Amino acid sequence: MPRNSLWPRTSPGSLDSASASLPDSDEPWGAGYWHALCNWLQRPRSPRTLALWLGLYLALACNWPLFWDLMHIGGGQRSEYLPNLLLMGLLVACGNVALLSLLAWSRWMKPLWVAVVLIAAVSQYYMATYGVVMDPNMLANATHTDMNEVLDLFNWRLLFHVLLVGALPALAIWHARFSPRPFVAQLWRNALLFVAAAVVAAGGALAMNRDFAPLMRNHTKLRYMTNPLAPIYSATTLGVRALFSHKRQLIPVSGGAALGASYAAQARPPLLVVVVGETARADHFGLNGYGRDTTRDLAARNVLSWRQVQSCGTSTLASVPCMFSPLDKAAFESANDDYENLTDVLQAAGLAVFWLDNQPGGCKGVCDRIPHASAFAGLDAVTRDALCPAGDECLDEVMLRGLDARIEALSPERRKRGVVLLLHQMGSHGPAYYLRSSRSSKRFMPECRVNVLSDCSRDELVNAFDNTIVYTDQFLGKTIDWLKARSDHYDTAMMYVGDHGESLGEFGLFLHGMPYTVAPEAQKHVPWVMWFSDAMRERDKLSLRCAQAGLDKPLSHDNLYHTVLGTMDVQSPSYKASLDALADCRGKA
């Protein structure tokens, strides 16, 4: 079919000449108006004209989450939010026009213009549906998303929204005709449009600086809701970082690592299981005072549960490398190089260390230098049918299947000294919470069974999430039972630490990944649970009464590295007793 066969071919002319083809009695009603519109769209025009109109369209059609937040900040009072709303609309429109002026050249730029429209449509959908913002960290998380998570986030509403917002402007762009001009003429006209947009934006911001500056300081997430400026800026930032950042060196910290005095005459080697939780909220654990009994199995096993624990980040990508680092949160985030982590130190001390992943996103580099495996690779058909209802995604109990064989495959010399197993959960990862719990753990019904969380009632959403906590409770209970069954051969213990929390509709937010400084407490308050066998408590000379008395002590991911080293009696220059959550309770048994 010829390129423009859907569009009437007319010689360039005015809209008046096009209107001469309005319907006659032989044409269906409205056909002539459609022809007139098609002829008008195909009139040769300057690329800057299209940039101007498209910038205004994107500002009005693709920034409703931003405008909604501004109205909410204004408390619903028109006199409070209307000035900021109008100014923000002006700034976004000018920013869009300035951005598009950089692409206002010829018909060969059309694919980029269409891409901008599609980016704006997709970004608006996710901002409106899940309350996320398009900052660099959010896009970095997206680059680590696997196909299963992509499918969780993809649905017909997304497709409908993209078509509703993006189809008509994309079609108009694709069929637009541009008046040819020499390169120099194009260049100075584009530069003039860019400068004009910048001047108008600066003038508006200066005119309302007294009210606008405090707004942007107090609500920093607003700058990452400007669409499509924010997603394009964030993507560009990630690209520039990847291209121009210096090659990060691996700084060793495992030098001097050695086993402590408890290993000299041990009757049995220690076996510690560290469970890295996923998307668990501490305030939804019954152990921490939640109104629902979501942690029945853990309560029956006399565990320790710290109630005031803060995560290092609001996403797996940010938290997991940080929580295993010898650096605290501030030092980790500002470091220009990578450092060896807890797994390296444990291995350097001579222990058998193994990472098992039930998270498709992997260990985020933590397990790169130790033995590691994926829990859902090479499963037998019976196990897959029982524990992997979602195909390549399995319930966390799959990590306990065949775990003895995985230990036996480790170095015998290291196993004789001691074993540390790190199990990375799928946990409560959203938005498909209903897939993260087994039938036996669906204690709270009805539950939300769709991926568009705003379509569910608050009760259904909380039910689905709480069922995932119940399943995690059951999984941790089975992990403790698995450890108890091996008490003849090992002194056993378990630690469970969540990587980050989750928003369940509070303040209109869903999921996680908000910038840490503006993220709600629900995305940063995580659970930390410990269990010790009697033999392990004796080995560590750990006072259970002392530990129970400190369960309200504020902790963070900064404490994990040092607490594990202390528990396993691993001597290291990087160990800090002040950050060991149990240091004050050892030697008091």
pLDDT the model gives residue 7: 40
Q: What percent of the chain has pLDDT over 90?
A: 59
Q: Is the pLDDT of residue 18 over 70?
A: no
pLDDT band at 142 (very low <50, low <70, confident <90, very high): confident
The Cα diameter of the chain in Å comes to: 103
Q: What percent of the chain has pLDDT over 70?
A: 89
Q: Is the pLDDT of residue 10 over 60?
A: no
pLDDT the model gives residue 13: 44
pLDDT the model gives residue 17: 43
What does the block give as tokens for 537?
């408590």
User: 258 by DSSP, 3-state: which?
Assistant: strand
User: 109 by DSSP, 3-state: which?
Assistant: helix
User: 395 by DSSP, 3-state: which?
Assistant: coil
In the chain the domains, ranked by start, together with CATH numbers, are 46-241 (no CATH), 274-585 (3.40.720.10)
Mean pLDDT score of the chain, rounded to an integer? 88
Beta carbons of 343 and 370 less than 8 angstroms apart: yes
Least Cα distance to 508 among 469, 464, 453 occurs for 453
Least Cα distance to 563 among 589, 532, 519 occurs for 532
Q: Is the pLDDT of residue 360 over 90?
A: no
pLDDT digits (tens, 9 = 90+) for 309-340: 999 999 999 999 999 999 999 999 999 999 99
pLDDT digits (tens, 9 = 90+) for 492-517: 999 999 999 999 989 888 888 888 98
Mean pLDDT of 251-261: 96
Mean pLDDT of 255-266: 94
What does the block give as tokens for 479?
């992990």
pLDDT the model gives residue 43: 75
pLDDT the model gives residue 290: 97
Mean pLDDT of 199-218: 77
Q: Is the pLDDT of residue 82 over 50?
A: yes
pLDDT the model gives residue 30: 60
User: 524 by DSSP, 3-state: which?
Assistant: coil
Residues 473, 503: Cα–Cα separation, whole Å: 20
Q: Which residue has the higher pLDDT, 109 or 554?
A: 554
Q: Is the pLDDT of residue 85 over 80?
A: yes
Residues 506, 528: Cα–Cα separation, whole Å: 23
User: 572 by DSSP, 3-state: which?
Assistant: coil
Whether cis (ω within 30° of 0) applies to the bond prior to 431 is: yes
Mean pLDDT of 30-53: 75
